[in-house]
Structure 1
Amino acid sequence: MRGMGTSGNVEYRCWPSYSQLGCVLSVHSAREAAYICNSHSQCNSFTLTGQKTWTGRLLASFRSSFSHLVPDGMSEVYVKKTKAPETSTL
């Protein structure tokens, strides 16, 4: 979701993070961030804010949940798709 950020974030820690309070990693693209999010069982979403490292890589913030979306013209939020639980019929 372009132009959106998150509020009420539930962070988790990862290594090697740019933040001691959460999981902030440098990535080449949204595709690489999605691959990382899919490899972390606790990751449910990530945000690209447009911030870059000195080498030009994007910074992605990974989280396990958030309470709501907020307008932010500089950010893009990606939410992991989850499968709906199957219902059994007898």
Structure 2
Amino acid sequence: MSISALLLVLVAAVLHATWNYCAKRAGGGLPFVFLVGLVMNAAYVPALAVFISIYGIDLTWSEAGWIVGSGVLKTGYSLFLQRGYRTGDFSLV
């Protein structure tokens, strides 16, 4: 494995653990999930704009549907995770 791949895996692991820790500490629900979504979009939209300006984009309706469906599933996961953190121990959830 190259050093850059290893670094990407480690950064992803730290970000994932940080997200879970913040989700547990927030005890939040929809407001927390909405705020995290805004922060993630603030990071992703500029990167997406650069990608589109370099490579262009040609989405079909089917592909757009998969993207929307993925967003719905991720939002549901985040809300269920918040509910689990409100009722269970961090290490168990």
> What TM-score do you get using the length of structure 1 for normalisation?
0.28
Name the structure with the higher strand share.
1
Return the structure number with greater relative CO, CA threshold 8 A, min gap 6: 2
Kindly name which structure, 1 or 2, has the bigger radius of gyration based on alpha carbons: 2
